[in-house]
Amino acid sequence: MEGKAASNYPGLMFLFDRFMTDHEFPKEKAAEIREFLNFQVRRARGEVQTGATFIRNIVRSHPEYKKDSVVSPKIAYDLMGQILQLASDPSLVEKFLGKGTKTF
């Protein structure tokens, strides 16, 4: 996403910036796109967990999980409850997306 000097690849961030400049994107829209791309960069660096990691952490920390790759109905029920809470609990959203991240 950010490019690598050794490979002479400028990265998607640079290419998006150039595209938005060349096509005269409105400043507000370009800023919104950059914010989203910066979020993706943080996710690619491992600074923000993915949905899969969020789910995996819930399953692995569940008291009924036996480390046998089996997700029991109780684990699945509790997992769905956690996911549903994301819609209404800002502290869970912050835990999932990272502090101060705007929701898109």
Task: Pick 17 or 95 by higher pLDDT.
Answer: 17
Residue-wise pLDDT tens digits, 33-42: 998 888 888 8
Residue-wise pLDDT tens digits, 52-104: 988 999 999 999 999 999 999 999 999 999 889 887 887 777 777 777 676 65
Query: How confident is the model over 14-21, as a mean pLDDT?
Result: 92
What's residue 18's pLDDT? Answer: 92
> pTM score, two decimals?
0.68
Tell the CATH topology of 51-97.
Helicase, Ruva Protein; domain 3 (1.10.8)
What's residue 104's pLDDT? Answer: 53
The DSSP result for the chain, as a single string, is ---BGGGTB--HHHHHHHHHHHTT--HHHHHHHHHHHHHHHHHHHTSS--HHHHHHHHHHHSTT--SSS---HHHHHHHHHHHHHHTT-HHHHHHHH-TTPPP-
Domain boundaries, the chain: 9-45, 51-97
